[in-house]
Amino acid sequence: MERRNSRMQLEFVEVTMEEGTSSDSTNLHQVVPPPYKSSLQKFITKIKEILFPDDPLRQFKGQPLHRKLILGAQYVFPLLQWAPTYSFKLFKSDLISGLTIASLAIPQGISYAKLANLPAIQGLYSSFVPPLVYVVLGSSMDLAVGPVSIASLVLGSMITEEVSPTAQPDLFLQLALTSTFFAGIFQAALGVLRLGFIIDFLSKAILLGFMAGSAVIVALQQLKGLLGITHFTKKMALIPVLSSVFHNVDEWSWQTIVMGICFLVLLLGARHVSIKKPQLFWVSAGAPLLSVIISTALAFAIKAQRHGISVIGKLPRGINPPSADKLLFQGDHLVLAIKTGLITGILSLTEGIAVGRTFATIRNYKVDGNKEMMAIGFMNVVGSTTSCYVTTGSFSRSAINHNAGARTAMSNVVMSVTVLVTLLFLMPLFQYTPNVILGAIIIAAVIGLIDIPSAYLIWKIDKFDFVVMLTAFFGVIFISVQLGLALAVALSVLRILLQITRPKTVMLGNIPATNIYRNIHHYKEAIRVPGFLILSIEAPINFANITYLNERIYRWVEEEEATIKENVCLQFLVLDMSAVSTIDTSGISLFKDLKNSLTMKGVAIVLVNPLSEVIDKLKKSDDGNDFIRAEYLFLTVGEAVASLSSAMKRKTPTME
Amino acid sequence: MERRNSRMQLEFVEVTMEEGTSSDSTNLHQVVPPPYKSSLQKFITKIKEILFPDDPLRQFKGQPLHRKLILGAQYVFPLLQWAPTYSFKLFKSDLISGLTIASLAIPQGISYAKLANLPAIQGLYSSFVPPLVYVVLGSSMDLAVGPVSIASLVLGSMITEEVSPTAQPDLFLQLALTSTFFAGIFQAALGVLRLGFIIDFLSKAILLGFMAGSAVIVALQQLKGLLGITHFTKKMALIPVLSSVFHNVDEWSWQTIVMGICFLVLLLGARHVSIKKPQLFWVSAGAPLLSVIISTALAFAIKAQRHGISVIGKLPRGINPPSADKLLFQGDHLVLAIKTGLITGILSLTEGIAVGRTFATIRNYKVDGNKEMMAIGFMNVVGSTTSCYVTTGSFSRSAINHNAGARTAMSNVVMSVTVLVTLLFLMPLFQYTPNVILGAIIIAAVIGLIDIPSAYLIWKIDKFDFVVMLTAFFGVIFISVQLGLALAVALSVLRILLQITRPKTVMLGNIPATNIYRNIHHYKEAIRVPGFLILSIEAPINFANITYLNERIYRWVEEEEATIKENVCLQFLVLDMSAVSTIDTSGISLFKDLKNSLTMKGVAIVLVNPLSEVIDKLKKSDDGNDFIRAEYLFLTVGEAVASLSSAMKRKTPTME
């Protein structure tokens, strides 16, 4: 009785099925093979789905030629979508928001250039040309373009590893521009090759941890300026910076510290006001410029340098000089420039696209990721030839742009023109701006990157994501920005691979008085069907999980056999395949192995609702295993159980 | 009409639902939240599933203490499972098979040691101690343990990269033993940490391509011996080897070539006979030893060395000398030894476990992967202290062992004793064995690693797997064994990640006269329900695919809206979540984003059969989005459509 003759049983089932199909044909629904598609067709479909999920040519379908041309031009230059209907009313909004972000962009530009160990003027250059390029090519209406803190930090720290910004300032600048060039090429290439999904691997959890960590690192770097230390470490990580701070206590300048703390309080206060009352956005938007003006006037009045307060010094007047001749395509540092370009490229891309998408969702328009990549990439390539370093859409300035009522990308033009005026006429005014104020501006800006409530939400929803976030945070603080990020991404990918390696298999039971079968550990009312083991496999089956699935399913069967009741021993293993979206050659072998080991036990395998790819491949590999014969295939678990139960009932008496 | 007031509509649905629940409560099945589990419980369950899918403690449950002790001892030493019932009848079978594999193991051992650039005697040492260790710890009854071709090749080529086997033979041997030690430690660690699933990443397709490529490389290396070339490249890849062969035509020795070809024909002929008639397994099993005996006698008779035929030369007599003092745990080459250990360790593990599983399936017993890893690992650690280099279960010898009727691991003891007798008394006989014969034996052995029919089956079933196979094959041939393997694994993992990044979403339709909803592109009879867009998401939702899913679903909705018929505009997006087995924080945000953009279009989102993890996390993140309120949740698509249709029908007249 324990070991039944499996062949006999299988034949029995067959007979019953044939009877079934003749009499109950209206109740049983056949699993049909999918419509035929050649390998080439499948390949094209797959490539389309991988590279063109948004089907960008869709809008061109069925349009007359001139319309196609217009749509094509609009596709390449999104400016053409809104420029024709641009009105004075829209311009009024854009003018206000443009001036608002300019008042923020000028002090931040100078500060971030310092953060990247570049001359302050580079920050203003980078706020002039790139916005103009973006206006023509970009599709976001809210993005405020210019240098950003994280990319500046990473660019500066990576190049500083090989070249000293103080000993070799020219080479340093050349490498920064070259890195910007490679960043742009890389960004545009991702867009052209439609590989934009690569940035999706920087998940929200990673970004949260990474930005908070960067904020800490950036803020710590400002201790140099805030404390007036002259001999400061070139390293970025927490420990060398803190040790540098406390080993140079004799260099601390109390005048600098007092000034820094006063303005930091002012800036943080302004930020607080704007957070509490969003309509007062102009308070935090204007505070940095106001601080610069006051502190510069103060420094000029008290002759700050005599009191140990360092100032920016003379800045050149005039617009961006061309810099194509400064790009280095050979020499010892080429690899460094490419590496820096890749990393700052991907970081600035992530920030720019995340910001663009956020505001597009709020205002309900669409931002095309791949197109944005091309826009940002081209902007950086152009930037690298006009003395600009890496730029993208900034989190903080875009938010203020949006709050200030920007309607189109024209606000970037307004900002750019304001920067132009500054470059042409106002540069001498910055001569006496104290460095300490730049540090205060940066700290006030990056504090906004630390988002505790979101971190708490992640903790609540998903502990593993929280661990990923902490990895990014501590990795950035204690090791380095690049390695912290890489660790967190590796951890996320590892998790996905683990999920693949250990797919869920759940036991289904019948929900009484229905044909519905659900997880018996979730739906307590679901009951098992005697003689059946119904499992749902909830993942693609592939080389990475067949060993596990084989062991796991075998264990389910053994456990089920150990709990036999009422003389009905296990006869059918029903595998619900609804969730097995893909399968590979190893996956196919799982069924053969399972069949081999279960036939010995007298258990027949029945497949329910295999999807087209699975049917297809089972068919192709069929060498007498018969998995795709109708008597082993059912469209729903309910039908499988109904049909097979009748076979079983008729059989039991003959066995006893 | 185009833009309906979504709030109004949602309220309408709500009302209908409330009516529904009061009157039709018997027909509607509630989606209930899963039973409560604390984070710790979930964590423990997950760890259990990842590390202990086979639940090794299961057999101990409910047993008395002394039985537990016996089971425990049997678990650690599988020998205890079969030894107590071992009989003379079993021994007769094991004796025959043991002698058969010994006759193969002796010539192969010498040959493979040469392949690894080690003294020939190491091959015999390695066929003596490791089998004895495996007998006690291993759970396979068919595995024939000893040195194998691929691990020998990789070990030899990796160490040769830094140390010359001819210039520094002692250091070379020390490094080989040290690598063996690290291989063993690594293998045992994988088993102890229960990380055995790592070898699952070497899929069947990769192994096929890799083994075929290795066979080509190994065979090419034998050209040195077969042609009698003395100045041969140390590189492994195709191009340097061929160039080495044809740049040294003046060194070719015709006597060697004639002898080599004769014996190669003999060996391949014997192999052919055994393949055609498996009961004649002893023909191919005995052929190598016969070749060695004949060729040695011949070489002795004609004084081969005078004719330019090189011979093995004097071999030391006696058993394995201890070699623990030869292990190097410091010095310049430590990193190399660790690296070599890791790679040969994982390769030999893969071979050993694959072979063990294959025969276990045929004879219907179970081989525990993690336990096998510990057995093989411990065997190599012991081996490294007794002058043995990396060993594992060999493909070819295990097959012959099985065909020769081996019943238990005792056949390994018989083989080991035979090797012992050889070591003690027969070593002088090998003095005149020509090197060319070893080359012929290796070629005849590795040709069996090229499996064209399986490659064709892979081509038929899955084109991508075929590409992975080719990558492994050409990578091994043209670059190196390690890189070829790494490339193929990277490609396989990339595919999995791509599948994750581009999950399938399919549109479901109703199969007429049923409650069943299936892919309308697969089941042609399935029809759409007006006003509904029913999508099934067939993958976990996570950070890597939310952007894609968002875009793809939005495109479905837009396309659906473009094909509005009969005045019924799209009102419900029904997402069948049955296949969404896991979700992360990013995945949760997908629903919020979708809801934001679809509410504007007046389309409500309905979830069908979300699994416990999804319900759980949606609930935790709930901040007024209401995804887990009953009116948006249904247990089946059929129930969702039925309930919501009635709501819609009542509404349509008021709209017109």
For the segment B578-587, what is each residue's pLDDT rounded down to a tens digit?
Answer: 888 888 888 8
CB-CB contact of B519 with B557 (8 Å): no
Closest CA to A188 of A133, A148, A233: A133
Distance CA A393, CA B618 (A): 31
Q: Are residues A562 and A613 in the same domain?
A: yes
Q: What is the mean pLDDT of residues B551-559?
A: 86
Report the pLDDT value the prediction gives residue B501, as an integer from 0 to 100. Answer: 86
Number of inter-chain CB pairs under 8 A, A vs B: 228
Distance CA B550, CA B545 (A): 8
CB contact under 8 A, A461 and B617: yes
Q: B455-468, pLDDT tens digit by residue?
A: 998 998 888 999 99
Report the pLDDT value the prediction gives residue A382, as an integer from 0 to 100. Answer: 96
Q: Give how far Cα A567 sits from Cα of A2, A531, A573, B399, Å.
A: 11, 9, 17, 41
With respect to residue A83, please indicate whether it lies within any of the assigned structural domains. no
CB contact under 8 A, B551 and A53: yes
Report the pLDDT value the prediction gives residue A146, as an integer from 0 to 100. Answer: 95
DSSP B85-136: G--HHHHHHHHHHHHHHHHHHHHHHHHHHHHTTS-HHHHHHTTTHHHHHHHH
Q: What is the mean pLDDT of residues A65-89?
A: 88
SS3 (DSSP) at A581: coil
Q: For residue A447, is pLDDT > 70?
A: yes
Report the pLDDT value the prediction gives residue B9, as an integer from 0 to 100. Answer: 37
Q: Are residues B593 and B487 in the same domain?
A: no
Sequence-distant (≥ 6) Cβ neighbours of residue B341 within 8 angstroms: B178, B179, B180, B181, B182, B183, B184, B185, B186
Q: Residue B412 — very low, low, confident or very high, per pLDDT cuts 50/70/90? A: very high
Q: What is the dihedral of CA A285, A290, A295, A296, to 10 degrees?
A: 110
CB contact under 8 A, A611 and B499: no
In terms of pLDDT, which residue wins out, B249 or A14? B249
Contacts B586 to A, Cβ<8 Å: 203-205, 465
Chain centroid to Cα B455, Å, comes to 16
Q: In angstroms, what separates the C-alpha of B207 from chain A's closest C-alpha?
A: 11
Of residues B53, B461, B621, nearest to A548 (C-beta): B53
A581: closest chain B residue by CA: B538
Q: What is the mean pLDDT of residues A20-34?
A: 55
CB contact under 8 A, B584 and A197: no
Q: Average pLDDT of chain B?
A: 85
Q: For residue A21, is pLDDT > 60?
A: no
Q: Residue B23 — very low, low, confident or very high, per pLDDT cuts 50/70/90? A: very low
Sequence-distant (≥ 6) Cβ neighbours of residue A476 within 8 angstroms: A209, A210, A213, A214, A216, A217, A484, A485
With respect to residue B261, please indicate whether it lies within any of the assigned structural domains. no
CB-CB contact of B444 with B268 (8 Å): yes
Does an H or E element contain A115, and which?
helix A88-115
Distance CA A645, CA A16 (A): 10
Give, as one character, the DSSP assignment of residue B440: H
Q: What is the mean pLDDT of residues A444-472?
A: 90
Contacts A517 to B, Cβ<8 Å: none
Q: What is the mean pLDDT of residues B342-368?
A: 87
Closest CA to B390 of B84, B655, B122, B656: B122
Q: Are residues B476 and B519 in the same domain?
A: no
With respect to residue A548, please indicate whether it lies within any of the assigned structural domains. yes
Tokens of A207: 């970004």
Q: Which range (A206-210, A362-366, A451-455, B204-208) has the least confidence? A: A362-366
Percent of chain B surpassing pLDDT 90: 29
Mutation target to probe the A interface, by most A beta carbons within 10 A, among B38, B40, B362, B585 is B585
Q: Which range (A130-134, A186-190, A226-230, A421-425) has the least confidence? A: A226-230
With respect to residue A416, please indicate whether it lies within any of the assigned structural domains. yes
Would you call A314 an interface residue with chain B, using a CB distance cutoff of 8 Å? Answer: no
Tokens of B487: 């490339």
Q: Are residues B487 and B524 in the same domain?
A: no
Report the pLDDT value the prediction gives residue A628, as an integer from 0 to 100. Answer: 63
CB-CB contact of B271 with B444 (8 Å): yes
Q: Residue B654 — very low, low, confident or very high, per pLDDT cuts 50/70/90? A: very low
Distance CA A422, CA A428 (A): 10
Burial string for B449-484 (b: 16+ CB within 10 Å, else e) reads bbeeebbebbbebbebbbbbbbbbbbbbbebbbbeb
Q: Are residues B518 and B621 in the same domain?
A: yes
Q: What is the mean pLDDT of residues B613-625?
A: 76
Tokens of A158: 């990576």
Q: Are residues A115 and A167 in the same domain?
A: yes
Report the pLDDT value the prediction gives residue B22, as an integer from 0 to 100. Answer: 35
Contacts B516 to A, Cβ<8 Å: 29, 635-636
Q: Residue B20 — very low, low, confident or very high, per pLDDT cuts 50/70/90? A: very low
Q: A332-343, pLDDT tens digit by residue?
A: 899 999 999 999
CB atoms within 10 A of CB A57: 11
CB contact under 8 A, A579 and B584: no
Would you call B465 an interface residue with chain A, using a CB distance cutoff of 8 Å? Answer: yes
Q: What is the mean pLDDT of residues A47-51?
A: 80
Percent of chain A surpassing pLDDT 70: 92
Closest CA to B175 of B380, B389, B383: B389
Report the pLDDT value the prediction gives residue B652, as an integer from 0 to 100. Answer: 47
Q: For residue B13, is pLDDT > 50?
A: no
Q: Are residues A203 and A289 in the same domain?
A: yes
Distance CA A507, CA A346 (A): 43
Q: A476-522, pLDDT tens digit by residue?
A: 999 988 889 899 999 998 888 888 888 888 899 998 888 889 888 88
Q: Are residues A507 and A472 in the same domain?
A: no
Report the pLDDT value the prediction gives residue A71, as an integer from 0 to 100. Answer: 87
Closest CA to B248 of B228, B272, B278: B228
SS3 (DSSP) at A350: helix
Q: B490-537, pLDDT tens digit by residue?
A: 999 888 888 888 888 889 999 888 888 988 888 888 888 888 899 999
In terms of pLDDT, which residue wins out, A379 or A198? A379
SS3 (DSSP) at B536: strand
DSSP A207-238: HHHHHHHHHHHHHHHTHHHHHT-SS--S--SH
Report the pLDDT value the prediction gives residue B592, as an integer from 0 to 100. Answer: 83
CB contact under 8 A, A522 and B34: yes
DSSP B5-50: -HHHHHHHHHHHHHHHHHHSTTT--PPPPPPP--HHHHHHHHHHHH
Q: Average pLDDT of chain A?
A: 85
With respect to residue B487, please indicate whether it lies within any of the assigned structural domains. yes
Q: Are residues B119 and B138 in the same domain?
A: yes
CB contact under 8 A, A542 and B463: no
Q: Which domain holds residue A283?
A: 88-427+435-496
Last residue of a domain, one of A480, A496, A512: A496
Q: What is the mean pLDDT of residues B11-28?
A: 39
Q: In angstroms, what separates the C-alpha of B289 from chain A's closest C-alpha?
A: 36
With respect to residue B282, please indicate whether it lies within any of the assigned structural domains. no
CB-CB contact of B184 with B202 (8 Å): no
Q: Residue A132 — very low, low, confident or very high, per pLDDT cuts 50/70/90? A: very high
A505: closest chain B residue by CA: B581
- Bridge partners (DSSP) listed for residue B575: B535, B607
Q: Residue B130 — very low, low, confident or very high, per pLDDT cuts 50/70/90? A: very high
Q: What is the mean pLDDT of residues A166-194?
A: 94
Q: Residue B5 — very low, low, confident or very high, per pLDDT cuts 50/70/90? A: very low
Contacts B513 to A, Cβ<8 Å: 26
CB-CB contact of B478 with B238 (8 Å): yes
Q: Residue B27 — very low, low, confident or very high, per pLDDT cuts 50/70/90? A: low
Last residue of a domain, one of B476, B496, B516: B496
Q: For residue B549, is pLDDT > 80?
A: yes
Would you call A622 an interface residue with chain B, using a CB distance cutoff of 8 Å? Answer: no
With respect to residue A644, please indicate whether it lies within any of the assigned structural domains. yes
Q: What is the mean pLDDT of residues A122-149?
A: 93
Distance CA A5, CA A8 (A): 6
Q: Are residues A185 and A323 in the same domain?
A: yes
Q: For residue B563, is pLDDT > 80?
A: no
Residues belonging to chain B: 656
A619: closest chain B residue by CA: B461
Report the pLDDT value the prediction gives residue A174, as an integer from 0 to 100. Answer: 95
Q: For residue B445, is pLDDT > 60?
A: yes
Would you call B620 an interface residue with chain A, using a CB distance cutoff of 8 Å? Answer: yes
Report the pLDDT value the prediction gives residue A11, as an integer from 0 to 100. Answer: 36
Last residue of a domain, one of A496, A522, A544: A496
In terms of pLDDT, which residue wins out, A617 or A32? A617
Count: domains in chain B: 2
In terms of pLDDT, which residue wins out, B336 or A562? B336
Q: Are residues B412 and B466 in the same domain?
A: yes
Read off the CATH number of the domain in which B553 is found: 3.30.750.24
Contacts A493 to B, Cβ<8 Å: 497
Report the pLDDT value the prediction gives residue A649, as an integer from 0 to 100. Answer: 56
Q: For residue A15, is pLDDT > 70?
A: no
Q: Residue B348 — very low, low, confident or very high, per pLDDT cuts 50/70/90? A: very high
In terms of pLDDT, which residue wins out, B382 or B598? B382
CB atoms within 10 A of CB B167: 8
Q: Are residues B481 and B594 in the same domain?
A: no
Tokens of B555: 């495109």
Q: Residue B28 — very low, low, confident or very high, per pLDDT cuts 50/70/90? A: low
With respect to residue A57, please indicate whether it lies within any of the assigned structural domains. no
Q: For residue B286, is pLDDT > 90?
A: no
Q: What is the mean pLDDT of residues A558-577?
A: 80
Report the pLDDT value the prediction gives residue B619, as an integer from 0 to 100. Answer: 81
